[in-house]
A and B are shown apart, each in its own frame.
Chain A
Amino acid sequence: DQQVKQNSPSLSVQEGRISILNCDYTNSMFDYFLWYKKYPAEGPTFLISISSIKDKNEDGRFTVFLNKSAKHLSLHIVPSQPGDSAVYFCAASYTGNQFYFGTGTSLTVIP
């Protein structure tokens, strides 16, 4: 049972434009959400996170938005750069439990 879903397997964006990656979840107990970035031949690396008590968290070019009523979160990258081309995984957890991951979205930023 996939509790975290990323319905877009891939996304292409022009350099300088905004990239929006989406994630949906089904478990209302989740209280912490994370985005990971993965380059080929490397493990996922933590990018940004958000607690369920917030609806927005910003770190430089990366912003995560959380809509609890819709059980939806999104990652915005502005402006997108070619080095952002990678697979992005959404993950969620609740206190004391495991992290649940989505299937990933492959982002390609076109120069």
Chain B
Amino acid sequence: DAMVIQNPRYQVTQFGKPVTLSCSQTLNHNVMYWYQQKSSQAPKLLFHYYDKDFNNEADTPDNFQSRRPNTSFCFLDIRSPGLGDAAMYLCATSRDLPQGNNEQFFGPGTRLTVL
């Protein structure tokens, strides 16, 4: 089945220790997104790629970076995780940017714990 895969599902890191979260897709979608979701809050968009074109949300901290080496993979790098970065990180894809009938497909998420 075509899907969005996130690894690892659970990640524990230490305060200030860099961490990388991984996302892959078999849908061949043009757009890949990274969201941060904290408890009882809405998913918050960090950035997205349209093909190789990177788009950073204005309020995404510099501590967060992303790479998309090819269509299938996208990585989220947190350079110096703080306690406030503990959250669920969701990767999503869509065929195109929002227009008409175009929904997102989500991975299962990576739960990040910062000690």
Chain B, interface SS category: loop
User: Across the interface, do B42 and A46 meet the contact criterion of CB distance under 8 Å?
Assistant: no
Q: Knowing A41-B108, A42-B108 are in contact, say whether A51-B42 is a contact too (CB < 8 A).
A: no
Residues of A within 8 A of B57 (CB): 98
For the side of the interface on B, what is the size category?
20 to 34
Residue B113 is within 8 A (CB to CB) of chain A in the complex: no
Number of A-B contacts (CB under 8 A): 62
Query: Once the chains bind, are B42 and A103 in contact (CB under 8 Å)?
Result: yes
Say if the beta carbon of B81 comes within 8 Å of chain A: no
Given A93-B98, A99-B98, A101-B42: A43 and B107 interface contact (C-beta under 8 Å): yes
Cβ of B105 under 8 Å from chain A: yes
Separation of A14 and B104 alpha carbons in the complex (Å):
30
Do A103 and B40 touch across chains, with their CB atoms under 8 A apart? yes
Residues of B within 8 A of A102 (CB): 42
Q: Hey, which chain A residues are within 8 Å of B98, CB to CB?
A: 32, 93-99
Which A55-104 residues have a C-beta within 8 angstroms of B? 89, 93-104
Smallest Cβ-Cβ distance to B108: which chain A residue = A43
Contacts of A98 in B (CB 8 A): 33, 45, 48, 57, 98
In the complex, the 7 A-B pairs of residues with the closest C-beta atoms, listed nearest first: A43-B106, A93-B98, A46-B103, A101-B42, A95-B99, A103-B42, A43-B108
